[in-house]
Structure 1
Amino acid sequence: MNFFWFPLEDLPFIVLAMLVAFTVHEFAHAWTAYKFGDSTAYEAGRVTLNPMAHIDWIGLIFLVVAGFGWAKPVPVRRSRFKRPRLMSILVTAAGPFSNLLLAFIVLFVFYALVAAGVMNDSSDAALATLWTFLKYWLQINFVLFIFNLIPLPPLDGYRIVEEFAPLRIRLQLQRFEQWSFFIFLLLVFVPPLRAATIGPLFELRDPIFRGMLDLLGTLFGSSVNESFINLLIKMQMTVA
């Protein structure tokens, strides 16, 4: 029985990509809050790209085994912001959008290498290794970006929705936060619930992915786009 959602031999690539994705995500929260005037995360040593400051090892193990996980939450005191609601939204959004940026960076690398004709020999062992690492980098950062948009505590999407909600609604929502983890597990592990709730959100990945490819096609020339997409399909570079 396979307890992992990926080939076991790919574990080093998975762990490395996760460390980078989680670290940049939490750093983005901490750095943005610090720039907006809240030094709480800075004083806690979280404005750093050192993975040890951000990684929750249990959350990392869950992500490796089950396909979802978490890092240490960044402490933020919104009362220190000059414009608490707006700046809180931007601090929260900085995390998932940092993962979107990482996904775009790896697509840029893919595109540049394909445009240069470097990645056309799939039989080369070194290139195959590079493809594998970049594939997981792309997949994990896309998943973290979309997954964190789910409006369920303690995910970033919930914190953003909470900031837009009136105080009366926010107080009502807080009553259910203690049950959020159990609701989260139901949504992840019960297929009908997952399809009805999380599924539609993940449909965003295709237009986002295509939009990035169109932008790269503008930068590198549209002639690369078709061959690039075909190569992604050939190498099973699905964003899932």
Structure 2
Amino acid sequence: MDSFFGFLRIPSLYDLGVMLPGIIVGLTIHEFSHALVATSLGDDTPRREGRLTLSPLSHIDPVGVLLLLIAGFGWAKPVPVNPYNFRGDPRNGMALVALAGPLSNFVLAFIIVLFLAFGGINLPYAWEIGITAVAINVSLGVFNLLPVFPLDGEKIFNRFFSYEIRKFMVSYGQAILLLLLFTGAISFVLQPITRFILNFYFALFKFLVG
């Protein structure tokens, strides 16, 4: 599952043009990174399922993207992974596979900042699309680090949970996540972190452009 913060609204054509590139590229890179790391650890499932690709068609869920646009939360197609094919400890492998998704969004946001700073900002609509893509990808990365099933953070921190907590999260994690989303409580936790990271990227941009 993937999300960025927003308000329930019907996007205009301009909004679609500005937001869709960041959403599509961000979700595609996120899921491809899961597939790439899983494959590098010895699991051929993502390759056999056609997920070891940068084609958005293999990763994008239309309903998930629509909800991202109008409600601020949504999802892409999960990458199928068999941790028992990994070399070494399956839980360590799953943690690395899970971490690859959010990390790829932070790296992508960093690359976009560099692109804008080193001349990309002069291209038509590059600033609007680029800065929106940075915000979307940082939010995707932060959101997915939440240690709540079925997000990546649950798999990253899974080995630190007791058996009782792991069982509870699998049973009730989705309900907890939906409760946090629809009550807005999730914003109190994630927005300060997201804002801190975005401020870092903006400061880097200003430094690079002098």
TM over 0.5: yes
1:110 aligns with 2:116: yes
CA distance in 1, matches of 2:198, 2:73: 21
Please list, as runs of the form range in 1=range in 2, the aligned pairs for 1:188-227 lying within 5 A after superposition: 188-191=181-184, 194=185, 197-212=186-201, 220=208, 224=210
Given that 1:150 and 1:198 are in contact with CA atoms closer than 8 Å, whether structure 2 keeps it comes out as no
Query: Which residue of the partner structure matches residue 176 of structure 2?
Result: 183
Q: Please point out which of 101, 104, 112 is paired with 2:107.
A: 101
Q: How does 1:50-65 map to 2 (within 5 A)?
A: 50-65=55-70
Query: Aligned partners of 1:105 and 1:20: how far apart in 2?
Result: 12
Deviations, residues 143-164 of structure 1 (Å, cap 9, x unaligned): 1011111222211112222232
1:141 aligned to which of 134, 137, 159: 137
Q: Offset of 1:26 from its aligned partner?
A: 0.1
Tell me which of the two structures has the higher relative contact order, counting C-alpha pairs closer than 8 angstroms and 6 or more residues apart: 2
Structure 2 Cα separation of the partners of residues 76 and 39 of structure 1: 8
Stretches of structure 1 that go unaligned for 5 or more consecutive residues are 120-125, 225-240
1:47 equivalent in structure 2: 52
Bigger radius of gyration among the two? 1
Q: How far, CA to CA, are the matches of 1:215 and 1:21 in structure 2?
A: 20
My pick for the range that moved more, 182-191 or 32-41, is 182-191
Residue 36 of structure 2 corresponds to 31
Q: What is the CA distance between 1:71 and its match in structure 2?
A: 0.3
> CA deviation digits over 1:57-115, x for unaligned, max 9?
1101111111111000011111111222222111100001100011111111222239x
Partner secondary structure for residue 73 of structure 2: coil
* TM-score normalised by the chain length of structure 1: 0.75
CA offset at residue 7 of structure 1? 4.5
Aligned pair count? 203
When residues 10 and 217 of structure 1 are mapped into structure 2, their CA distance, relative to the original with a 3 A threshold, is: closer
Partners of 1:69 and 1:144 in 2: how far apart?
10
TM norm structure 2: 0.85
User: Which residue in the other structure is 2:89 paired with?
Assistant: 83
The change in CA–CA distance for 1:104 and 1:47 in structure 2 (over 3 A counts) is: same
Report what 1:236 is aligned to: none
Gaps of 5+ in 2: 1-6
SS at match of 2:157: helix
Q: AA paired with 2:9? A: F
8 Å Cα contact 2:39-2:45 kept in structure 1: yes
- Percentage of identical aligned residues: 36
How many angstroms apart in 2 are the aligned matches of 1:170 and 1:3?
Answer: 32
> RMSD in angstroms over aligned alpha carbons?
2.5
Cα distance in 2 for partners of 1:206, 1:168 equals 34
